Amino acid sequence: MWTYQAPVADMLHVLVQVLDAPAQWATLPAHAELDADTAAQVLSEAGRFASQVLAPLNAGGDRVGCRWSPQGVVTPPGFREAWAAYVQGGWPALAAAPEDGGQGLPAALNMPLNEMIAAANHGWTMYPGLLHGACEVVRHDAVPELRARYLAPLVSGQWLATMCLTEPQAGSDLGQVRTRAELVAGQPAANGAPLRISGSKVFISGGEHDLSDNIVHLVLCRLPGAGAGSKGLSLALVPKILPDGQRNAVHCDGIEHKMGIHGSATCQMRFEQAEGWLIGEPHRGLAAMFRMMNSARLHVAMQGLGHLEAATQNAWRYAAGRVQMRAPSQPPGASPEQGGDPIAWHPAMRRLLLGLRARTDAARVVALRCAMLLDEAAQHPDATRRAAAAGQVAILTPVAKAFFTELGHRGADDALQAWGGYGFVAEYGIEQTVRDSRIAMIYEGTNEIQAIDLVLRKLLDDGGQRAGVLIDELAAEAVLCRTDAALQPFAEALDAQLDAWRQALAALLTGRDGDAEYPLRVADDMLAGVGHALLAWAWARIARCSANPARAPAPGGRSAQDWLDAARHGIDWLLPQAQVHWARVGRRGAVLPHLARVAV
Amino acid sequence: MWTYQAPVADMLHVLVQVLDAPAQWATLPAHAELDADTAAQVLSEAGRFASQVLAPLNAGGDRVGCRWSPQGVVTPPGFREAWAAYVQGGWPALAAAPEDGGQGLPAALNMPLNEMIAAANHGWTMYPGLLHGACEVVRHDAVPELRARYLAPLVSGQWLATMCLTEPQAGSDLGQVRTRAELVAGQPAANGAPLRISGSKVFISGGEHDLSDNIVHLVLCRLPGAGAGSKGLSLALVPKILPDGQRNAVHCDGIEHKMGIHGSATCQMRFEQAEGWLIGEPHRGLAAMFRMMNSARLHVAMQGLGHLEAATQNAWRYAAGRVQMRAPSQPPGASPEQGGDPIAWHPAMRRLLLGLRARTDAARVVALRCAMLLDEAAQHPDATRRAAAAGQVAILTPVAKAFFTELGHRGADDALQAWGGYGFVAEYGIEQTVRDSRIAMIYEGTNEIQAIDLVLRKLLDDGGQRAGVLIDELAAEAVLCRTDAALQPFAEALDAQLDAWRQALAALLTGRDGDAEYPLRVADDMLAGVGHALLAWAWARIARCSANPARAPAPGGRSAQDWLDAARHGIDWLLPQAQVHWARVGRRGAVLPHLARVAV
């Protein structure tokens, strides 16, 4: 049966030994008092919550799902109690600023928390999924009166929040949003202005539920006289329960029946002259929304990693216990007479298992490196360092969102194969991971939208400068690996990836003139290429750490050799895939034929 | 919403123009009277049944599923009536021999029928899925008395059949089968001997249902004194209803709750001294079962192609109608003022759609070529030709099973992305295709088992001879393409694939000495490489056909240019993936580390 044990030892090894996070914390005033022991305590506690409270609710959440009635949405058994316990434990406020009532811990601890809760129970994790982003928006963009009323209960998790963007005709294209915001008579259109909101939204995660008494909706809408397209959008804060305790005119008309995350209520929402307030300047709603979205994208990236981890550990466990046929290499202690060996010893399964492990390790190193950059961007005393870190996060965010969610879903789908026919049977649970993980490739901007964001806005916008800085920084790892003969293959693999990245960037920068479709045509490959380059960097970093006795994993976890084996498998068996992506980026001439048939 | 229109025009174009099937039929006495017009009539009629009778039952079959009670299994609404209509139409007997009551039509028409019914309703298609194989076994291996009693009602579809192999401890490893067969006192253990069967089987598709009055189980079991392992297995015919009208001691104890194909009853079966008869010689059951399994593997391959087709046509239709944002290239007739373009015009989606189309076209060409080889192996007057064709089918069967089912599932999963969030919502239907298609990668031998069969038994067994003949035959297409300058890219692409195949074969033949794991380690890549080589051959063949006005598609279907565009997309954008697989086969040195952790 599917289980989930939070990989706390692996996370700590990556943070402390591979990435040296404690040394970074010492340079950031806000985290100067944090050390490895405290980090271990926090992650162990979070791991216990994920493994012991959330994971046992996962299968039931899928089977029972949410139930809708005109009176509201009932979440699956145990979800409400788990949320209360999560709030009680102070988890929603882990990374929030102390002045807002938070614990002020770094993203480097909050992102592993997000990985764990998503891996343990993706459906449940949807409810707080947008909370951190909503807090950011209220904190930065709301007028003091609204901030005073809404920030503290959102930070603590007493209330939950939604992001109301999508409408039936406005998915990837938010410029098509039609929800109207009217000004209350006599009030000027300024930040904080009271509004009446009318319109319909779809795919609103947690639009209605029974976990919290109030739900704060952040609604993308149009003020009177707003221009067409995305530049005419404003953002409104619309609570389910008004300050006077009355129910606002916010209705949930139904929930979707979905492929997965059945425990998450995906709501059709109707606003009928609902009361709300403008958040941020008029017609500047999209900018505020992006603040929320960037945070949400990293959260989704961690869902991808979480699914990959869950798939990996379940596949290893099942394959170690399932005996079928003799393997060509026998496991230690196998008797010549026994009828079969664990399938983990059959070469096809060993490849599968090592491939899952190699991806999980490397993706986690990249994710936590990204978290450390977030912390540096937020807390470093040097403004130049803050800006540089922010520039790297800007590149890493769409890559992590798209590449990790793809790794998570494909990894789960690959892992299912280890179970044979049992993998297709609901009670074994891996098929739920396959279904749940699929949505992460779509929401918060489809993976194709992430690729366009990466290529147009993050790589080409500044002539490739920001990317050049990131590539140089990654190349430093190859230089360090070259000092040890045993690490040469890792140095070479990484350098090859970074060279390919530089060449692809150059090809795009020159080739886009006169062929506007070119960057769009190869954006998905560019993202996949960059994703592989980041994995190559992570495998090199893991290998260098494994070669250093002073950075040995803590006893009780995996051995240094184990980490090295997986990293070596990564560069030998997985990295060659990158070549296909880089080659496609480089082939400028392969235009796409017109789809004349589509137009008829 | 998901729909299915049988691609009859595409199938006929492939059969008649691309593969010249009518010329082959003229050389086979059994099919000498068949012509293109008759083939068109048969496929059109089959297409109507699939599109108008089966496809409308697909979503309901998923939603309602099968219901089990101790009294039996109730199939979803309409399934029983659809089966009656199918039998009434004579479809089960399409390819059966006239002397057995069949219509004697070739596999080249029966395999498209299988593609259509699987695409329209995979769950329903499971019930007759093993019928053809069961008929083969009864025809070849049963004693005359049993054949007289069971063959005719199986050929007509009046009764249905199962293949009872798997037990909880015996999945890929059938040597672990424990079901016992006892001889009735005083009877010798000879073909046709009455038996009493006891044991439990799992994952029995159609083990119990309400479509037919009787169900004929073919049960893998052990006679007293049988040796251990797969050499001690025998095959028994065990009917649900005995010749005297009594219910046999065959019980369905429950059905599985699965990721997909909810309309198919996947049964846990219990035999309690059930009456049956030996089919074939004692202890030779696996050989008889393989007869059934080879037929079943091609049937599963067609399920993969069917899912790919369904995903392709639904994605094209949805992407043509869904408008989001302006595209960099505008479709014909687009106005500069309109708010957006169909997403089919956005480069990322055009790539997706062309990739789906290119795969579907090529896989169908390979599948129908395989069907024609089956017909040649069965019906050609020259024994040498029959043997040569059978040799090619032996190679193509595991490739088609594994490669097409992977194309079907991954294709459906890719296609889902076109819908954005709607793709994750059940009522749009594409997510059902993703779920249903997953099982085809597992059953009838997992895709990893197919790869081992291909490499060990089909490619290396005879020192690569059979493979060499197939490669030479495929190379003839490149020679033909070289006569036309416009077709050079196709000739080069195909030659490169065949060279890579030859090199990989040579590397395996020499490299396996002293490294017994080597062929097993790279078997999946070898299969994927061969699969891509076959696609390259198909794209070349399609292109050559498109360049020949005498072989133009019939009016009303896709244009020759349309076929050519998709084929060109295949060699430009999809074929580079093959390089990763061939390179991995060639790297003999990349051994897999021992999984010491697994053993503890």
Tell me which chain A residues have a C-beta less than 8 angstroms from the C-beta of B319: 598
* Residues in B touching A259 (Cβ below 8 Å): 424-426, 431, 434-435
For A206-243, where are the E strands, in sequence order? 215-221, 234-239
From CA B359, how far away is CA B534, in angstroms rounded?
A: 11
Instruction: Express each pLDDT in A500-527 by its tens digit.
Output: 999 999 999 999 988 889 999 999 999 9
Q: Quote helix, strand, coil % in chain B, to nearest 5.
A: 60, 10, 30
Residue B291 pLDDT grade (very low, low, confident, very high; cuts 50, 70, 90) = confident
The closest CB to that of A523, out of B348, B441, B558, belongs to B348
A443 to B435: CB separation less than 8 angstroms, yes or no:
no
Q: What share of chain A is helix, strand, coil (3-state, %, to 5)?
A: 60, 10, 30
pLDDT of residue A52: 98
CA A180/CA A198 separation, integer angstroms: 5
**Contact status, residue A214 vs residue A153, Cβ threshold 8 Å:** yes
Residues of A catalogued as catalytic: 444
Please say if the pLDDT value at position A598 is more than 60: no
Which of B169, B259, B425, B427 should be substituted to probe chain A, the one whose Cβ sees the most A Cβ atoms within 10 Å?
B259
Which residues 403-442 of A are in CB contact (within 8 Å) with B?
Answer: 409, 413, 416-417, 420-421, 423-427, 431, 434-435, 438-439, 441-442
Report the residue from A328, A517, A590 with minimal CB separation from B516. Answer: A328
- Is the dihedral angle over the CA atoms A321, A325, A331, A335 positive or is it negative? positive
CB B512 within 8 A of CB B455: no
The predicted pLDDT at position B598 comes to: 43
Report the candidate in B408, B403, B421 with the shortest Cα–Cα distance to residue B534: B403
Tell me how far apart the terminal alpha carbons of chain B are, to the nearest angstrom: 50
- Give the closest of A329, A331, A598 to B344, CB-based: A598
The CA distance from A399 to the nearest CA of chain B, in Å, is: 16
pLDDT value of position A589: 66
Residue with tokens 């390819």: B95
* Torsion (CA) B388, B391, B393, B399 in degrees, nearest 10: -140
To the nearest whole Å, the CA of A100 is away from the closest chain B CA by: 34
- Of the CA atoms within 13 Å of residue B141, those in its CB half-sphere come to 28
Q: pLDDT tens-digit profile of A194-230?
A: 999 999 999 999 999 999 999 999 999 999 999 888 8
Q: Lowest-confidence range among A584-598, B412-426, B515-529?
A: A584-598
Instruction: Give pairs for A242-245: CB < 8 Å, separation 24+.
Output: A242/A275, A243/A149
Give me chain A's average pLDDT, please: 95
Q: What pLDDT score does B271 carry?
A: 98
- Cβ–Cβ < 8 Å for A167, A201: yes
Amino acid at position B156, single letter: S
Taking only the tens place, the pLDDT of each residue in A285-313 is 988 888 788 888 999 999 999 999 999 99
Angle at B543 between CA B542 and CA B547, to 5 degrees: 120
Report whether pLDDT(A535) > 80: yes
What is the ipTM score, two decimals? 0.96
Q: Which chain B residues touch A351 with a CB distance below 8 Å?
A: 521, 524, 592
Q: A-chain residues within 8 Å CB-CB of B583?
A: 576
Q: What is the pLDDT of residue B76?
A: 98
Spell out which residues of chain A touch residue B421, defining contact as CB-CB under 8 Å. Answer: 166, 171, 202-203, 439, 442-443
pLDDT at A597 over 60: no
Rounded Cα gap, residues B409 and B600, in angstroms: 35
Report how far apart, in Å, the C-alpha atoms of B170 and of each of A421, B57, B203, B207, B216 are. 11, 34, 11, 18, 22
The helix/strand/coil state of A108 is: helix
- Do residues A288 and A235 make contact, with C-beta atoms less than 8 angstroms apart? yes
User: Closest to B173 (Cβ–Cβ): which among A202, A319, A325?
Assistant: A325
User: What is the model's pLDDT at position A134?
Assistant: 94
Residue A234 pairs in a beta bridge with A221
B166, B424, B596 ranked by CB distance to A439: nearest: B424
Check CB contact under 8 Å for B452 and A348.
Answer: yes
* Partner-chain residue, chosen from A202, A424, A587, that has the shortest CB–CB distance to B439: A424
Residue positions counted in chain A: 600
Number of H helices, E strands in chain A: 22, 9
pLDDT average, residue stretch A343-366? 95
Among A177, A520, A595, A600, most B C-beta atoms within 10 A, so best to mutate, is A595
Report whether B460 contacts B508 (CB < 8 A). yes
Q: Give CA–CA dist A91/A120, Å, rounded.
A: 15
Label the pairing between strands B180-183 and B194-205: antiparallel
The residue-averaged pLDDT of B265-270 equals 98
Contacting residues for B33 by C-beta, under 8 A, at least 6 apart: none
Question: Which pLDDT band holds residue A594 (cuts at 50, 70, 90)?
Answer: low
Confidence at residue B587, expressed as pLDDT on a 0 to 100 scale:
85
Closest CA to B478 of B526, B544, B535, B531: B544
Alpha-carbon distance of A401 to A396, in angstroms, equals: 8
B337: confidence class by pLDDT, cuts 50, 70, 90:
confident
Question: Which residues make Cβ contacts (< 8 Å) with residue B155, sequence separation at least 6?
Answer: B92, B93, B96, B100, B101, B102, B135
CB of B516 within 8 Å of any CB in chain A?
A: yes
Mean pLDDT of B89-98: 95
- Residue A390 binned pLDDT confidence (cut-offs 50, 70, 90): very high
Whether residue B597 is predicted with pLDDT greater than 70 in this model: the reply is no
- Asked if B447 lies within 8 A of A417 by C-beta distance, the reply is yes
Mean pLDDT of B495-515: 95
Chain A residues whose beta carbon lies within 8 Å of the beta carbon of residue B451:
348
Contact B233, B286 (CB under 8 A): yes
Contact (Cβ atoms closer than 8 angstroms) between residue B328 and residue B347: yes
Per-residue pLDDT, B330: 79
- Would you say residue A397 has pLDDT above 80? yes
Rounded Cα–Cα distance for residues A62 and A59 (Å): 5
Q: Chain B: nearest CA to A380, how far in angstroms?
A: 38
Which residues in chain B (223-282) have CB-CB distances under 8 A to chain A?
Answer: 228, 256-260
Please state the rounded mean pLDDT for residues B476-492. Answer: 97
pLDDT for A596 equals 60
Q: If you average pLDDT over every residue of chain B, what do you get?
A: 95
> pLDDT band at A599, cuts 50/70/90?
very low
- The pLDDT of B480-497, averaged and rounded, is 97
Secondary structure (3-state) at A164? strand
Instruction: Decide if B339 touches A, using CB distance below 8 A.
Output: yes
Tokens 């104890």 belong to residue: B253
Is A354 touching B (CB cutoff 8 A)? yes
Indicate if B444 belongs to the active site. yes
Interval A123-177: pLDDT, tens: 999 999 999 999 999 999 999 999 999 999 999 999 999 999 999 988 888 889 9
Backbone angles phi, psi at A452, to 5 degrees: -65, -40
Share of chain B above pLDDT 90, in %: 88
Q: Which of residues 316-335 of B touch A (CB under 8 A)?
A: 316, 319-320, 323-325, 328-329, 331-333
How many Cβ atoms from other residues are within 10 Å of residue B44's Cβ? Answer: 15
- High-pLDDT (> 90) share of chain A, %: 89
- B66: helix, strand or coil: coil
Contact yes or no for B439/B260 (Cβ under 8 A): yes
**pLDDT for position A185:** 87
Confidence of residue B413 (pLDDT cuts 50, 70, 90): very high
